[in-house]
Structure 1
Amino acid sequence: MVDALELALGHRPGFCTIVLPTEAVIPPLYESIATIRPLNPEKRPPSRIEAFFSRDRLSTEELYDDIEESIRLRASFLLTVLVSALIAGLGMRSGQTAIVIGAMVIAPFLGPSIGMAMAATIGDHGLGRRASLALVIGAVTCVAFMTLVGGIIKIDPTVPELLSRTRVSPADVVLALASGSAGVIAFSRGSASSLIGVMIAVALVPPLAAAGLLYGSGNGHLSLGALILFATNLVCINVAGILTFLFQGLAPRSWRMTAGTLLVWLALLAVLIALILPRFLP
């Protein structure tokens, strides 16, 4: 079309073609039998039961677009990681919960986490690699930066807001599972307001910031506890995310691959529970 316009009108002085991307569709396009496109053309189309469970979520194409946007490794992504980590670290250091909540809201880790869950559900290796890479680079950047900060400023590890990020309880596991499921539901419905609540409920940046601060200040054993909390939240998001995506009718390319990935995450969750449970047994 652009070439045709150029041939027809390009000779006219002042002619200009402006191409704008479609940023939104009103009303939102939710998944249906007509919009579900099987990843494998040889597979059967979705049944009415599968379409029923997926009727309230965005189309698969829109989910891909949203996930891809959230896992791009750009300067803005890393800058947001640094800023949110610094805000969270200083908020925990001074015991100001409101500041820590602000850091949770702007933290960019929920998108890559849900991207990993979606990739595991449908068996998309490329999406899984990109989401994992974004999360790993962001997490390493966060811990390294806050380790430097912890070596410069004075840290009191007994501050409740900081100390709470070094302990994992069974309630934290249940909370992370519920929040991971809520995150997928909010993400698949395009509900930004609900996502903000999920970011606050299952925070990933504060444990990483706490780990860096504590390690930089010479409290390595407490730093390990913060990393365990981060790992617990991440594993729970993926376990709950995969199950929720399946419940919503997101069809895997291979059920064997999806089941195997889910079993790996469940095994990791069992190991983490085994590490924290003895402290709560009589």
Structure 2
Amino acid sequence: MRFIKANFPADKADAVIKIIEGCKPVDWSMDSGYGRYEKAVEIVVAKGEGQDLVDRLQSLLGGGDDWRVVVMPIEATLPRPDDTILEADKEATQKAKTVSLREELYQKVAGDCTLNTDFIILTVLSAIVAAIGLNGDSVAIVIAAMVIAPLLGPILAFALAAALGDLSLMKKATKTSLTGLVVGFAFAYALSFVMPVNIGSTEMVSRTVIGPEIIALALASGAAAALSLSTGISSALVGVMVAVALLPPSVASALFLGAGETDKAIGAALLLAVNVVCAVLSAQLIFVWKGIRPRTWAGQRKASVSVRINATVWIILLAALAALAYRLNLQVL
């Protein structure tokens, strides 16, 4: 279930009550407001519900600056909900197109793709650990690097921005993604001059091969990431899936380049490009399938155009990269 609290002017009370009753929540109550707010209402809705309620409240109250709507998950409630409510929660989890609210998704991805000191440090550390693992042919160390790699946020942010037609979030996600990849590549490249590069490492060589299973992995990673976010499932393991598609080939390309193996460096870079395209494309399609779109009609039209353009561009890029890989005599479709 979810807890929704709205603060608003007193003259909007009747309209707010009408909206609440029309949405049929599990429970609700209204009281005097707090601080600068005149009225406050607390609403409990079943899991998977609440998007229409929040949209209607925003449409009613959005013209001024003396309102606020807060959404929080409910861990437990007393008295305990009856079986009907619990069953409704279960059905909503299984059947609802979108379990997480649009605002919840946006808040999370916008925070996770913020370019700050922590993001840079984690990127550097993960690149260093990955370089050591790849060079030493150690799967365990490579996995450790993927655990700390902060690459999930920007990928999901870009895919969600494309689904919503949000150009500002798209730019922010692009900036963070490119910065992370460049910083990781640069530090791995610098390491190639400090330690001898093991160009025969199985972990290194495997990052120069593009095959159907690699493309399927990248597509599955992006789709799983979008599903984990939109359904509220923990994204920790999914973050590792995305990292396995992005971090190792980037670091391998840098190490090969530092060792003077230009052809292998290009192969790993091409694998990275294919993985980025696949992950973003599949994540975007999942968000669209889940029905995540802007609240207003104008926003929905803009988002539809954004989805079509982005999907077309990514599909063309994927086809072009696959063709390039084939011409470079890599194992590709």
Partner SS, residue 193 of structure 2: helix
Deviation at 1:281, TM superposition (A): 7.7
Partner SS, residue 34 of structure 1: helix
Q: Structure 1-normalised TM-score? A: 0.80
| C-alpha distance 94-281 of structure 1, shift in aligned 2 (>3 A) | closer
- Max Rg structure: 2
Matched, 1:97 2:139: yes
Residues 134-153 of structure 1: matches in 2 within 5 Å? 134-153=176-195
Structure 2 partner of 1:274: 323
Matched AA of 1:262: A
| C-alpha distance 35-77 of structure 1, shift in aligned 2 (>3 A) | farther
Deviation at 1:168, TM superposition (A): 1.2
Q: Quick one: distance in 1 between partners of 2:133 and 2:35?
A: 52
Matched AA of 1:258: V
Matched, 1:200 2:241: yes
| C-alpha distance 144-33 of structure 1, shift in aligned 2 (>3 A) | closer
Q: Quick one: distance in 2 between partners of 1:104 and 1:31?
A: 34
Runs of 4+ in structure 1 displaced over 6 angstroms? Answer: none
Deviation at 1:166, TM superposition (A): 1.6
Tell me how large the CA RMSD over aligned residues is: 2.8
Q: Quick one: distance in 2 between partners of 1:28 and 1:89?
A: 47
Matched, 1:236 2:278: yes
Give the number of aligned pairs. Answer: 251
Matched, 1:261 2:302: no
Deviation at 1:187, TM superposition (A): 1.6
Deviation at 1:184, TM superposition (A): 0.4
Structure 1 partner of 2:198: 156
1:143–1:212 Cα contact (<8 Å) kept = yes
Once the two structures are aligned, what percentage of the paired residues are identical? 31
Q: Quick one: distance in 1 between partners of 2:151 and 2:274?
A: 14
Deviation at 1:33, TM superposition (A): 4.8
Q: Structure 2-normalised TM-score? A: 0.69
Structure 1's unaligned 5+ residue stretches are 5-25, 42-51
Q: Quick one: distance in 2 between partners of 1:243 and 1:90?
A: 35
Q: Which has the higher strand share?
A: 2
| C-alpha distance 249-221 of structure 1, shift in aligned 2 (>3 A) | same
Deviation at 1:162, TM superposition (A): 0.9
Structure 2's unaligned 5+ residue stretches are 1-33, 38-43, 60-93, 295-299
Q: Quick one: distance in 2 between partners of 1:33 and 1:197?
A: 25
Structure 2 partner of 1:37: 55
2:154 corresponds to which of 105, 112, 128:
112
| C-alpha distance 155-246 of structure 1, shift in aligned 2 (>3 A) | same
